[in-house]
Amino acid sequence: MENIISTLDHVPVGFRFRPTDEELVSYYLKHKLLGDDFPVHVIPEIDLCRVEPWDVPAKSVIKSDDPEWFFFSSVDYKYSKSTRVNRTTKHGFWKSTGNDRNIRTRGTNNVIGTKKTLVFHEGRVPRGAKTNWVIHEYRALTSHESQNTLVLCRLMKKADKRKEGGIEAPNFLDEISLPEFTLEEILKAAELFPPVEQYDDDDEFVNSIFVDNEEVIINEERRHCFVNSSTQPKSLRRVYNASSDTDAEVVSNLVKVNCPKSK
């Protein structure tokens, strides 16, 4: 194993350790839970509560300039029969954000694990200062309760946010967790929308957008008959017939005729 670790210190330029979410759960975390350490020796085991995020890169087996590191960590529950997890360090704490996401086997709906996003805050609750350190915490779905005490973490350090005029620009996408939908759910939702009308050519589509000229003429004649009706006051008929202004200007003229003192 020493030879393998030594090789990882000098990997060729361009090589990256970039496992997918599915590979992290179905291979690395699975072998670790089964006690088969050799296939996963490239990922060390670290106590999340005993180290600060900036100390983790030095403990990584794979040496890389990429701002991304992997490690296993035991789950530290606050109480013996509690589901609340302790994620407090000497200088800060890890705060959960967004909703947990399901990890599925590729091409299926089979859920094999979950992914939780954690953000490191310096200080103490509730006045901690948010940092650029983020963890994706992977947990396997297993029927063995004894295997729920270990998680796999992907530690990342985000680039500093661009500042404009000395003020840090907020990034609202950090707090957004998009829901996941299966193909079956998407197709079912699509049935709720009416079918889109199809057109044989572009001219037919363009013509469908505009109102029929005949309908416009009919509506105009109806308005003309209404305004010139004997039931309408002479002032209204006089203003409408003598004016080619817009509706707003016609109303303004009506106010002047009926209320001379109005401005």
pLDDT of residue 249: 58
- The residues with which 116 forms a beta bridge, in sequence order, are 137
Kindly report, residue by residue over 84-101, the tens digit of the pLDDT. 888 999 999 999 999 999
End-to-end distance of the chain based on CA atoms, in angstroms? 94
pTM as predicted:
0.58
Q: State the average pLDDT over residues 69-95.
A: 87
The top-level CATH class assigned to 2-188 is mainly beta
Percent of the chain with pLDDT over 70: 55
- The residues with which 47 forms a beta bridge, in sequence order, are none
Measured between alpha carbons, how far is 24 from 113 in angstroms, rounded to an integer? 10
Q: Which amino acid is at 118?
A: L
CA dihedral 20, 100, 28, 14 (to 10 degrees): 30
- The residues with which 154 forms a beta bridge, in sequence order, are 70, 136
- Tokens 């109303």, residue? 251
Q: Which amino acid is at 105?
A: T
Q: State the average pLDDT over residues 60-72.
A: 87
Which ranges in the chain are annotated with CATH 2.170.150.80? 2-188
pLDDT of residue 246: 53
